[in-house]
Amino acid sequence: MKIRVGFGYDVHQLQPDLPFWLGGIEVPHTHGALGHSDADVLIHVICDALLGAANLRDIGFHFPDTDPQYKGIDSKKLLAETMRILRAKGYEVSNIDSTICLEKPKVNPHIPAMQRTLAEVMGVGEDDISIKATTTEKLGFVGRQEGVAAYATVLIYQVA
């Protein structure tokens, strides 16, 4: 069996009075992420990691921010299309390990809902999606609450 590992990293600026989409759910907060799509940083890193693991380039290649059809798009649609592309190449997801870096709001209470949502979109088990959250101890742009960052590592395998 052929297995492959992929890694994703993304950041988005935080702005007041925008909805804050994270892991496919809207998280209550005074600020939201700024981006061409709904700026769901967690979904974006998962897409990047999956595409990279299968040697299918990156999220910007498949869903460019210069294309008006992706303006304001729900990132769950991007994730569903990423899964279609991945499966068309003969791969399936083994597991995902991700970390969100954010000072506020606290993410931990929302993790089970994120796991449920992502698992449903991806057609995998909730137990296959690890989501962790951390602060940067008030250091850098995350610490100053100017932005949010996320990382993801994925393991995929080729279906026989």
Q: Residue ranges for the binding site for a divalent metal cation?
A: 10, 12, 44
Q: Cβ–Cβ contacts within 10 Å for residue 93, how many?
A: 22
Q: Which two tokens stand for residue 128?
A: 């296959």
Which amino acids are annotated as binding site, given as ranges? 10-12, 36-37, 44, 58-60, 63-67, 134-137, 141, 144
The three-point CA angle 23-130-145 to 5° equals: 50
Residue found by looking up tokens 């929302």 in the block: 110
DSSP per-residue string spanning 82-123: HHHHHHHTTEEEEEEEEEEE-SSS--GGGHHHHHHHHHHHHT
In whole angstroms, what is the distance from residue 119 CA to residue 76 CA?
11
Eight-class DSSP state of 27:
P
